[in-house]
Amino acid sequence: MNKSVSTEIIDDVLVITLDRPKANAIDAETSHALGHAFISFRDNPELRVAIIIGSGERFFSAGWDLKAAVDGEAVNADFGPGGFAGLTELWDLNKPVIAAVNGLAVGGGFELALAADLIIASDDAQFFVPEATLGFIPDSGGVLRLPRRLPKSVAMDLLMTGRRMDVEEAKKYGLVNRACPVKTLKKQAIEWAHQIAQSAPLSLAAIKSVIKQTEGMDLESAFDYMRSGKVDDYSRMLESEDAKEGPLAFSENRAPKWNGK
């Protein structure tokens, strides 16, 4: 694996660390490495939750490596499986991902965090997409995901001015789930991941798939679609051994033993 990306398995949690001093910027090679890490997580049935974090305490990620751009790397370069940063277009990942944002999430770094399901951030974290001030747009998800995650007027402000959003504002709009001191960020992210991993893996997959496939539908249409048999993860969950194990474990006053089947 690229030395700028390292992985650590803690029980059923995979911690992916982006380590490219000084700003954890992402070039094509690093993006490929991140993609392979997320795909490895996707394909390993023993892993339940992933965490993406940057090394150090100042930058989660400065996004696309502009030095690489100056050296000739194109905006539309091949960033590998999963798109930019390995996650922004990894559409078939049906397991939870937590972004642990330690400091600045800039441009593509912010887009990487947006591609996660949940965000925990250090108290001094900031989020911004300066692309429009540099002559392009955040097209690795920022221009598409921000208006879905924030009030449209707020998203337009961020996209068009490149201004910085601090943690308090991000929490106000529900963009950030939790905040904590940077010194305890990784520890708290891991504890949160372990809490999530206690839920049935097929249920977690069904949650992601139902939400993704019904996004934008009215409530009645969403119900009909969910029950139509077209959401494979939902159907798989309903017919699973785990769907029987959960109620049985509850009746026997014990922790369930999930097997993902």
List pLDDT tens digits, range 231-246. 999 999 999 999 999 9
Residue 71's pLDDT is 65
Residue 110 shares a structural domain with residue 140: yes
State the Cα–Cα distance between residues 223 and 107, nearest whole angstrom: 36
State the Cα–Cα distance between residues 24 and 18, nearest whole angstrom: 6
Residue 27 shares a structural domain with residue 148: yes
Sign of the torsion formed by the C-alpha atoms of 205, 206, 209 and 211: negative
Residue 192's pLDDT is 98
Q: Which of 174, 197, 220 is the last residue of a domain?
A: 197
Residue 23 shares a structural domain with residue 152: yes
CA-nearest of 89, 91, 72, 88 to 27 is: 72
Candidate list 29, 89, 111, 168, residue with the active-site label: 111
> In angstroms, what CA-CA distances link 248 with 70, 206, 236?
60, 20, 19
- Tell me if 260 is assigned to some domain: no
Contact 198, 107 (CB under 8 A): no
- Tell me if 259 is assigned to some domain: no
- Tell me if 33 is assigned to some domain: yes
Residue 156 shares a structural domain with residue 227: no
Residue 43 shares a structural domain with residue 134: yes
Angle at CA 125, nearest 5°, toward 119 and 130?
95
126-128/178-180 β-pairing: unpaired
CATH number at residue 172: 3.90.226.10
Query: Domain range spanning residue 44?
Result: 5-197
Active site residue 131: yes
Residue 67's pLDDT is 78
Residue 65's pLDDT is 86
Residue 214 shares a structural domain with residue 152: no
Residue 77's pLDDT is 76
Residue 44 shares a structural domain with residue 137: yes
Residue 74's pLDDT is 62
Q: Which of 153, 179, 197 is the last residue of a domain?
A: 197
Residue 113's pLDDT is 98
Residue 38 shares a structural domain with residue 142: yes
Q: What is the pLDDT of residues 150-177, one digit of tens each?
A: 999 999 999 999 999 999 999 999 999 9
Residue 152 shares a structural domain with residue 24: yes
Residue 103 shares a structural domain with residue 144: yes
Query: Mean pLDDT for each consecutive 10-residue tract of the chain (261 residues)?
Result: 89 97 93 97 97 96 82 73 96 97 97 98 97 94 96 98 98 97 98 97 97 96 96 96 95 93 90
**Number of domains making up the chain:** 2
Residue 215 shares a structural domain with residue 232: yes
Candidate list 46, 89, 131, 191, residue with the active-site label: 131
Torsion of CA 28, 32, 34, 39, to 10 degrees: 160
- Tell me if 257 is assigned to some domain: no
Q: Which of 197, 217, 233 is the last residue of a domain?
A: 197
Contact 49, 98 (CB under 8 A): yes
Active site residue 239: no
